């Protein structure tokens, strides 16, 4: 059984979590090109390194960041996103 340490709920079975993708700068969907958006959504480095990833604890709905080594699958640490992001960005429809 694989265990992931949730910063809010403590060690939990991996089946309680949903992978949310890599933590990376998101282009503004209202002004970026289709190619820029496709690159953001579909293309990843896929290299051996430590990556920052979004994870969600499904029962509580809590989102957090995990640093994971892609070769060993070892999770180095998990932490609250407020350590990295200090403000929330809202995206609306263009022209609204």
pLDDT of residue 55: 98
Report the topology of domain 1-24+46-86. Answer: Folate-binding fold (3.30.2270)
More confident residue, 66 or 46: 66
Residue by residue, what is the 3-state secondary structure of the chain? CCEEEECCCEEEEHHHEEEEEECCCCCCCCCCCHHHHHHHHHCCCCCCCEEEEEEEECCCCEEEEEEEECCCCCEEEEECHHHCCCCCCCCCCCCC
For the cut 70, the answer to whether the pLDDT of residue 94 exceeds it is: no
**Could you read off the pLDDT of 25-64 as tens digits, one per residue?**
889 888 999 999 999 999 888 899 999 999 999 999 999 9
* Domain segments of the chain as ranges: 1-24+46-86
pLDDT of residue 91: 67
């Amino acid at each position: 059984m694989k265990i992931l340490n949730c910063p809010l709920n403590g060690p939990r079975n991996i089946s309680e979590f949903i992978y949310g993708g890599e933590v990376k700068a998101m282009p503004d969907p209202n002004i970026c090109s289709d190619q820029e958006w496709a690159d953001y959504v579909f293309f990843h480095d896929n290299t051996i390194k430590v990556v920052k990833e979004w994870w969600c604890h499904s029962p509580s709905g809590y989102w957090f960041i995990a640093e994971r080594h892609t070769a060993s699958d070892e999770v180095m640490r998990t932490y609250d996103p407020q350590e990295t992001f200090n403000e929330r960005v809202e995206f609306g429809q263009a022209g609204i």
